[in-house]
Chains A and B, each alone.
Chain A
């Protein structure tokens, strides 16, 4: 497992040094959320009602934006091929990279959501539920996204294709994320069924997605 931690550490170091990827994702999140009131009008009641949905969808889009780079850099400089000949199975290497993506993109996006929630007049008592569901749901976004990133590694205009492939996979996460916030707004405390399902989706993607991603990468290296 040393290899796993070494790769995780390297990817996080690179994420910090190359900073722009995270900055772009956060900036995109901010801009998309800010565009919405400009389109819908500054009616605070309306904004407050749609805030959770807007924040979730914008978060999916912002995360999507950063996915293509997950394997691209390692593919371009040949690291991926060396990794394929290492003792660490490629599946675990993919898991390390997806985990690094979650830590360097998913968590910051989830933590930024409450700030944007203020701009949409989201009920402040819902903030813990919002951040909680996002932290529970974003692993699925990174790990399912790794499948899309692996599949479109060599594709022309991979970014657009990636959105087409991956967004449908995010539907369950989106539905149960929103529904968990809905339960919280009804005043139900503790773990709602929706939050548990959301966690289950994340756990299942963490377990299963690396297999598909590694298979897709192997096919493209042959």
Chain B
């Protein structure tokens, strides 16, 4: 327990975090590139076309990891928000801020690939399928988080308010999901995507999911580094301004 605490404390120190993340980031990024490259090789040259969907099924290898990362991104934001509000963890806000645009981007990717996949299946780019609608609403939540943060000048306040919104979102997400399913079954039978996946497809899908997750982590770490550096630059600038102000008064007097 004690060693755990010291570990968190050491990680909580932004300088330690910068050192550590600098050390591991290249490995994670390289791992992401390797996994994605191998998965894509399997997808395009090894894995068979689906007996129903033909070659279009290859979109799945991007779509499913994106949808998974959309959820994982929101979980990271929710956990970070919790860490910020309850433990006042200095890196939690940085983590929540960095995860939001990445999560939103993967959500958008899931929506776009889903709609591209849907075109040959449904004959139109978009149907108000329960899953697509839920992911769309998740995208709205992401947009809300980003918009709220960018609308406030005071960064500390913005971080806390965004954290509250993220936790409210977590509480209400299951209800939204449930209500959308309800709404959808009212109108049309659920479109069946739940059929089991053949092992020849499962391996590349799994590899692709691992690769994209590593990519997410790499982007997240880089985003956190950038945010920490941005805050340092801002602090330095403010100090510079203050020093300039003092020097100015002294010089003229």
Contacts and interface: CB of A to CB of B under 8 A. Distances in A.
A–B contact, 8 Å CB criterion (strictly below): yes
Interface of A: 19-20, 23-24, 27, 30-31, 34, 37-38, 41-44, 118-121
Given A38-B183, A42-B127, 16 more contacts: A19-B150, A20-B147, A23-B147, A24-B151, A27-B143, A27-B144, A34-B136, A34-B140, A37-B128, A38-B133, A41-B186, A42-B128, A42-B187, A42-B188, A119-B125, A121-B126
B150 A20 contact: yes
B108 to A, nearest CB: 11
A43 B187 contact: yes
Interface of B: 115, 124-129, 133, 136-137, 140, 143-144, 146-147, 150-151, 180, 183-184, 186-188
Nearest to B184: A42
A74 B85 CA distance: 36
A24 B183 contact: no
B188 to A, nearest CB: 6
A199 B252 CA distance: 60
A119 B187 CA distance: 17
A70 B180 CA distance: 37
Contacts of B126: 118-121
B103 to A, nearest CB: 15
A24 B147 contact: yes
Nearest to B136: A34
Contacts of B146: 23
A38 B181 CA distance: 11
A118 B128 CA distance: 11
Query: Chain A interface secondary structure, helix, strand, loop or mixed?
Result: helix
A44 B127 contact: yes
Contacts of A41: 186-187
A156 B13 CA distance: 46
B115 A27 contact: no
Contacts of B140: 27, 30-31, 34
Contacts of A42: 127-129, 184, 187-188
A38 B140 CA distance: 14
A37 B188 CA distance: 13
A13 to B, nearest CB: 17
Contacts of B137: 34
A19 B140 CA distance: 17
B115 to A, nearest CB: 7
B116 to A, nearest CB: 11
Contacts of B115: 118
Query: Which among A34, A42, A44, A120 has the highest number of chain B CB atoms within 10 Å?
Result: A42
A44 B129 CA distance: 11
B112 to A, nearest CB: 10
Contacts of A27: 140, 143-144, 147
A44 B122 CA distance: 11
Contacts of B128: 37-38, 42
A121 B132 CA distance: 15
Contacts of B180: 38
A96 B188 CA distance: 50
Nearest to A42: B128
Contacts of A119: 125-126
Contact of A118 (B125, B133, B183, B188): B125
Nearest to B140: A31
A41 B126 CA distance: 14
A119 B128 CA distance: 8
Contacts of B187: 41-43
Nearest to A18: B150
Contacts of A43: 187
Contacts of B136: 34
Nearest to B146: A23
A16 to B, nearest CB: 13
A69 to B, nearest CB: 11
Nearest to A48: B124
A43 B150 CA distance: 36
6 contacts: A23-B150, A30-B143, A34-B133, A38-B180, A42-B188, A121-B124
